[in-house]
Each structure stands twice: as structure tokens, then as C-alpha cells.
């Protein structure tokens, strides 16, 4: 039996959050909105509670979770971190970024899949922050999708994936970013490594940390190092319908490549940039716009929504890519992983 609670993030009714927070205290599972994607949470200090997350998602136990906290002090409680480092990461808190740090013994092994490091994040979404505060424990949470599906960015997605599998679902509207948090590893020497690109772009991280390593796999072009990034070995962001990605280029080149691909399918849809709409209209091709050259945030927030919307409705999704810059790196990482063919 799943209880659905609706809240307006701009005018939160405290009583509703308190009820869900009480459920967290009782080792129950609660789906909640964050500024990136919806999360599937439970008491991060309770092995019994965290087990329910893995069960509901069908997630392999060797894929560790992110511990969500509501204040800076919690970083000292659950990780080993120097004050100099804490001062740096504080500049990014709260926000769409996760830090991998050495873990303290109080965090149960089930959260970190037995590793001695922990992924920890302080989300900026008011509902998430209040839920953690009232629960008075950190909340372990992966994205609230069934394992292997695109992360949920809208209430419809969480209801479809999680209704009947969790105790509570808090509906709080559409998310702000639509791609999962940036993950940086701060345990491998002095230079932080980007394990997963996200809304906080490398330029911002360079401002704070100086140097930063962006491995090839962060672009989604090669396989990652599974020891450092255990979750990455599982297929992600993949709809059932084939996704064909056309890498970013000048308009004529991209459109030409798209038109070549269209010929291979009976009922494809082209997910294109606004700037190219006229070409597809002219050729009488089934299309939808996913973003524009001038606003990559819009592309990010529509990405998983589109992948879900057209899944199994067409026989191929042919998607125009964007440049590997800013949040575009995160978008292209997800798209390259979702696509069957890399162009």
C-alpha cells in the first residue's frame, strides 16, 4: 500500500512532510523530489530500512547509494574530511553535487556496498531538505526509477515505477535540472576526479578546487573504471526502443546524418534542436524538439522525459546531440550511454 502525498514546493505544508519523516524514522521507504531527479529514500543509518530500497528498485547490492544530508555539519559526522576541504565544498552546498569521501563507521556497509568511501550530498530542494531535517537521520537514496530505466523527473514517472513498491510517494512537481547530480571523488590524491558529470560543470569545480580530472568515461565515450565507480557497470538510462545519437556538428551535417538514419526505420521520431525544425517539417518527418543550441538546461530537463514519453511508441528515437560543455557534458554522457550506436 503506497500513500501518495502532494506538496507545493513553494508553499510546503509542514504536516505532510512530518508524516513522511515519521515514516523514515519507522524504517519505511519514501520517494521524494530533489532538484536533480526524484529519489527513493530510507533511513541511511538503518540496514533494515536501506535493504527495502534495493528490493523496491531491483538494484544489485554491489551498487552503493548516496547519503543525503540537510546540513554541512553532517559531513563531519559521516565522513573523514579536513576543514580546508569542507570549506571548499561548502561553497557548493546545498546543490546538485555529490562528494565521494572516506566514510565513518556509523554508516552501515549496505549503503556503501562494503566500500570504505561514501557518496554524500546535500540537495537544494526545499522538500528534500525538510524531509531529512524532520527525519533527523541522513537519508540513503538512489534515483527513484526501476533499475536500468531513465531517472524520474516528473510525478508520472515515479508513480509508474514506484507505486505499490514503496510506503510513501511525495509528489512535488517537476524537477529543476533533470539529470543526476555531478559526482566527484575526493579520495584519490589531491586532484578531484569527476565520476559522473552533472549540473555543476567542470568550470565551476575548477574555480573551487583548482585542478580537476575529467576521465574519458565521464563523457560516456569509454567504459569507466568499475572499481572507482561501481554503479557504472550497469546499463543506465536505457529505454527499450533503440536510441540513435547523432553527435553535434554544424546544422547541415547533423540534419544529413539524421535523414540517413530515418531511412532505416518504419516509424522513427527525431528529437531535434529548435534551430533545425524547419528542415524536418520540409521533409515531412515525425519530430519533437528537445532543446536548443542556446539553452542546454532545457535539453537536460527534457531528456529523460522524452526518452520515457516515446519509449515503445516508435521504432527508433533519433536524437541530435549538443556540445560537450557545461551541463551539455552531463547530457551527452547520458545520451551516449542510452544509444546503441555511437556516431
Please give the residue ranges that form the binding site for ligand TXA (CB under 6 A).
34, 36-37, 39, 63-66, 98, 100, 112, 115, 117-119, 121, 141-143, 180-181, 183, 195, 229-232
Please state, in angstroms and rounded to a whole number, the distance separating the CA atoms of residues 47 and 94: 26
208 exposure class (CB count in 10 Å sphere: 0-12, 13-18, 19+): middle
Q: Which of 127, 171, 156, 100 is nearest to 17 (CA)?
A: 127
Q: How far is the CB of 326 from ligand TXA (least distance, A)?
A: 17
Number of Cβ within 10 Å of residue 318's Cβ equals: 27
Partner interacting with residue 182 (select from ligand TXA, Mg ion, none; CB below 5-8 Å by kind): none
Partner interacting with residue 36 (select from ligand TXA, Mg ion, none; CB below 5-8 Å by kind): ligand TXA
The answer to whether the CB of 194 falls within 8 A of the CB of 201 is no
Q: How far is the CB of 63 from Mg ion (least distance, A)?
A: 9
Task: Rank residues 59 and 302 by Cβ distance to Mg ion and give the closer one.
Answer: 59
* Residue 72 to residues 16, 32, 95, 311, Cα–Cα distance (Å): 25, 21, 12, 40
Residues that bind Mg ion (CB under 5 A): 143
Please state, in angstroms and rounded to a whole number, the distance separating the CA atoms of residues 320 and 282: 17
- State the residue number with the nearest CB to Mg ion: 143
The answer to whether the CB of 167 falls within 8 A of the CB of 30 is yes
Please state, in angstroms and rounded to a whole number, the distance separating the CA atoms of residues 169 and 175: 15
Task: Rank residues 60 and 114 by Cβ distance to Mg ion and give the closer one.
Answer: 60
- State the residue number with the nearest CB to ligand TXA: 231
Task: Rank residues 143 and 339 by Cβ distance to ligand TXA and give the closer one.
Answer: 143
Q: How far is the CB of 166 from ligand TXA (least distance, A)?
A: 14
Q: How far is the CB of 311 from ligand TXA (least distance, A)?
A: 19
Partner interacting with residue 154 (select from Mg ion, ligand TXA, none; CB below 5-8 Å by kind): none
Q: How far is the CB of 126 from ligand TXA (least distance, A)?
A: 15
Amino acid at each position: 500500500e503506497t500513500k501518495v502525498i502532494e506538496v507545493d514546493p513553494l508553499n510546503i505544508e509542514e504536516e505532510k512532510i512530518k508524516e513522511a519523516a515519521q515514516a523514515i524514522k519507522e524504517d519505511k521507504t519514501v520517494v521524494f523530489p530533489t532538484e536533480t531527479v526524484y529519489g527513493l529514500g530510507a533511513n541511511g543509518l538503518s540496514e533494515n530500512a536501506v535493504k527495502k530500497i534495493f528490493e523496491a528498485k531491483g538494484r544489485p547490492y554491489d551498487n552503493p547509494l548516496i547519503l543525503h544530508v540537510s546540513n554541512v555539519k553532517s559531513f563531519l559526522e559521516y565522513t573523514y574530511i579536513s576543514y580546508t576541504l569542507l570549506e571548499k565544498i561548502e561553497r557548493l552546498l546545498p546543490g546538485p553535487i555529490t562528494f565521494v569521501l572516506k566514510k565513518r563507521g556509523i554508516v552501515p556497509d549496505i549503503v556503501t556496498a562494503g566500500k570504505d568511501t561514501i557518496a554524500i550530498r546535500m540537495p537544494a530542494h526545499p522538500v528534500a531538505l525538510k524531509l531529512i531535517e524532520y527525519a533527523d537521520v541522513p537519508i540513503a537514496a538512489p534515483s527513484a526509477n526501476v533499475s536500468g530505466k531513465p531517472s524520474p523527473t516528473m510525478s508520472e514517472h515515479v508513480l509508474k515505477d514506484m507505486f505499490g513498491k514503496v510506503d510513501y510517494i511525495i509528489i512535488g512537481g517537476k524537477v529543476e535540472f533533470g539529470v543526476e547530480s555531478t559526482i566527484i571523488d575526493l579520495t584519490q590524491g589531491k586532484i578531484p576526479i569527476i565520476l559522473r558529470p552533472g549540473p555543476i560543470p567542470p568550470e565551476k569545480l575548477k574555480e573551487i578546487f583548482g585542478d580537476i580530472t575529467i576521465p574519458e568515461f565521464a563523457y560516456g565515450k569509454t567504459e569507466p573504471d568499475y572499481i572507482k565507480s561501481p554503479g557504472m557497470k550497469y546499463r543506465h538510462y536505457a529505454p527499450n526502443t533503440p536510441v540513435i545519437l547523432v553527435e553535434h556538428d554544424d546544422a547541415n551535417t547533423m540534419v544529413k546524418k539524421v535523414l540517413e538514419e530515418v531511412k532505416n526505420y518504419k516509424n522513427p521520431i527525431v528529437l531535434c534542436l529548435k534551430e533545425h525544425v524547419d528542415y524536418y517539417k520540409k521533409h515531412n518527418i515525425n519530430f519533437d524538439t528537445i532543446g536548443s543550441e542556446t539553452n542546454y538546461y532545457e535539453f537536460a530537463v527534457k531528456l529523460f522525459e522524452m526518452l520515457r514519453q516515446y519509449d515503445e511508441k516508435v521504432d527508433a528515437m533519433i536524437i541530435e546531440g549538443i556540445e560537450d560543455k557545461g551541463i551539455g557534458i552531463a547530457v551527452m554522457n547520458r545520451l551516449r550511454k542510452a544509444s546503441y550506436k555511437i556516431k
